[in-house]
Amino acid sequence: MSGRHRRDRPRWLPALCAAAIAVLVSAAVYSAVVMTAVSDVAAPAPSAPGQPGPAGEFDRTATVSEVVDGDSFVIDGGVTVRVLAADSCEMRTDAGPRGRADAEKVLRGATVSLRREPTAANDADKDGRLLRYVEVPGLGDLGSYMVQRPHTSAYRGINDASPDYLDRLRGLDRDGRRCVDTLPSPDQKPAVDYPDCTAAAAAGQGAIYVGDPGYSRRLDGNDDGVACE
């Protein structure tokens, strides 16, 4: 009886079953792709496993078009973003290019999540750069990533980041930063000698780099090669 049933089975039945399975598999793959694309557009990038949740309030997602230095980059539309609370060496110092190179490894072409600090006094810095926490897909918080490198430290000046976030960054920043390879002797008197940074600011000076008139180790509290930051 069973042998007769096998002989009577329509020859087209296996082909029909295979076609049905192929349609179901294609539909499942298409649904997964669509859901992933929607998620990328609508949701902020998650923190990497093991990291604390993202700081601040979600602002937008944006694609990075250019990396300026270790703590700033340009997004689509030409807006420049400054990573909140991270302080990388300037490009004119020895370590500046290394900071930009490390940032480029994780930022170039990435679609990042920008988050604002709701308690911040400023939405942008004096140069018009947006002050934002930055989440990078697969990496997590960019500031936390960068401060663990010798070219970047947690910012020590007036800061718009939350105290909790600053504590986190300072806990990760174990070695500060060193921006130049060779510093002058601490007792070497500069060509222009400011008694303190207040006097330097009154004379119109901003940050003073090693090698520039007015730089002295006395005004460079963290010995990173930049005085009166």
Cα separation, 161 vs 56, whole angstroms: 9
pLDDT beneath 70, residues of the chain:
1-53
Instruction: Give CA separation, 223 vs 181, 209, 217, 227, in Å.
Output: 11, 11, 7, 8
pLDDT at 24: 56
- Which residue is listed with tokens 């000698």? 193
Q: What is the DSSP letter of 162?
A: -
**pTM (two decimals):** 0.70
Question: In this predicted structure, what is the pLDDT of residue 188?
Answer: 87
Cβ contact 96:88 at 8 Å = yes
Q: What's the CATH number for 57-172?
A: 2.40.50.90
Confidence (pLDDT) at 30: 47
What's the pLDDT at 44? 40
The residues spanned by each domain of the chain are: 2-42, 57-172, 180-229
In this prediction, residue 189 carries a pLDDT of: 85
pLDDT at 19: 58
